[in-house]
Amino acid sequence: LDPLQPFPPLKNDNLLRAARGEEVDRVPVWVMRQAGRYLPEFQELRKHHDFFTVCRTPELACEVTMQPLRRFDLDASIIFSDILVIPQALGLTVEMHAGVGPVLPQPIETPEDLKRLTPDGALTRLTYVGDAITMMRHKLDGRVPLIGFTGAPWTLLGYMIEGGGSKTMSKAKAWLTKYPDDTKLFLNLLTDVIVDYLEMQVMAGAQMLQIFESSAEHLSKEEFLQWGAPYLRRIRDDLVDRLTKKVIPLVPLTLFAKGAGHSLKEQSELGYDVLGLDWTVDPVEARKLVGPNITLQGNLDPQDMYRDAGELRTLTTEMVHKFGKSRYIANLGHGITPQTPITSMEVLVEAVHKAL
């Protein structure tokens, strides 16, 4: 994959400008899970194709990535994929069960089970993501930037030990005290694969990357600084190091640690360009903690998308005013939920663009 392949020139670069702290002509907005279940055309496509088949088929992944852009004046696209493609590449079965979400029928239960993982060649089992990114860059024709992403080590470890999503993460948290050395081994193994994976995404044409530490909310501040932050720092440092050595232009990196509002100052010291905030964090407080040189992303409560248009417009406008026009990317504080009305997305996008 040649990162210098001739892609169409970018027409709307507000997202990248905001990430780098440059002036924007309007506040950029995109939404986590914007290509997804709230869109009838996505549901229609899913009637014919299994979830992971869509992820693994570049034409289908691109079609789904494009769907929200046909409806809304968004300032970014994000490649359609899933954070659990990494556990799959490491040899675990991941199934998507209707009404339940992801299920891993043979989870990692003891340190002995780590021997089942297949890190060698994991990247070769993820090339379909790179293929989709390259194809998508051409399909976008420079309309908006394309974001690539990955799950973070602690979050992936949680899914792999719990066997799916968990409200308590009790099995994964038990590892932290019961098998601390094996936990470090596990997290380092995941970190290595993640760095390979992100490098591949940049080579394929991703113009920005987001690292989803979606399960940070299950860690205390002390635990996050021990089991989250060091690996997040290494992802950033190793990736920058590799791209620099290959003379490949760096892309902005976003860290979204959901529920880690307790550690915003520490997150701001990890080297990321953008920090995503969930809806529990006050924008003004966040800015004080992270200082003027980091871009903030967020953070409307996804539930506010169910309010009437007038209320939603007011809340969105107030949010943008709190963050300001400089170093800000508008988004929800977590992924958009499946029953969200289409009209709410229209209101959100328009209100962000008109707010300042």
Instruction: Tell me 330's DSSP state.
Output: E
* 82 counts as catalytic: yes
**DSSP calls for 89-152:** HTT---EEETTTEEE-SS---SGGGGGG---TTTGGGGHHHHHHHHHHHHHHTTSS-EEEEEE-
Structure tokens at 182: 């094996």
* 236 counts as catalytic: no
The active-site residue, picked from 17, 33, 234, 236, is 33
Coil vs helix vs strand at 254: strand
The active-site residue, picked from 13, 17, 46, 56, is 46
Q: Which neighbouring-strand residues pair with 256?
A: 212, 276
* 159 counts as catalytic: yes
**Cβ distance 197 to 123 under 8 Å?**
yes
What is the maximum span of the chain, computed from C-alpha positions, in angstroms?
56
* 33 counts as catalytic: yes
* 20 counts as catalytic: no
Q: Give the sign of the dihedral formed by CA 143, CA 67, CA 70, CA 278.
A: negative
Q: Which neighbouring-strand residues pair with 212?
A: 151, 256
The active-site residue, picked from 13, 75, 82, 131, is 82
Helix ranges restricted to H, the chain = 14-20, 40-46, 51-56, 58-71, 85-89, 127-140, 153-162, 170-178, 180-204, 221-227, 229-245, 264-267, 283-290, 309-323, 342-355
The active-site residue, picked from 38, 131, 137, 159, is 159
Coil vs helix vs strand at 300: strand
Which residues are the active-site residues? Answer: 33, 37, 46, 82, 159
